[in-house]
Amino acid sequence: VQLVESGGGSVQAGGSLRLSCSVSGYAVSSYCLGWFRQAPGKEREGVATIDTDSITSYVDSVKGRFTISTDNAKTTLYLQMNTLKPEDTAMYYCAADRCGGSRHFLRRERGQVNFWGQGTQVTVS
């Protein structure tokens, strides 16, 4: 499985960004997909995930502001981020793995996810 993120950058508080992740590989359609983030000095955390039934889950801090989605073929994963806050500043990673649902995938720790992208930086000032 290969995951390649794009779309990060710098934005002022209150602004918007959309992250994209190109998804490819064997049996990827049977995987959960998600966005995780890691700020300096902090653990990597799940931000938003989507499972094979297109059920989504979000960490409480982004509910109502972020939206995760895929294209119909599940070859691209998106994260629309609105009303960005300085505390959203982090490296954002695309992730994929087999899972038992989006809520469980959201809670996985770094070592519990098999496939990661290289990350894209989001800075909110």
Q: What are the tens digits of pLDDT across the range 41-55?
A: 999 999 999 999 999
Please report which confidence band the pLDDT of residue 37 belongs to, taking 50, 70 and 90 as the band edges.
Answer: very high
- Torsional sign, CA 74, 77, 82, 88: positive
- Left if phi > 0, otherwise alpha if psi is -120 to 50, otherwise beta: which for 63? beta
Q: Span 79-83, mean pLDDT? A: 98
- Please say if the pLDDT value at position 21 is more than 90: yes
Per DSSP, 101 falls in state: -
Task: List residues bridging with 24 in a β-sheet.
Answer: 2
- How far is it, in rounded angstroms, from Cα 1 to Cα 50? 17
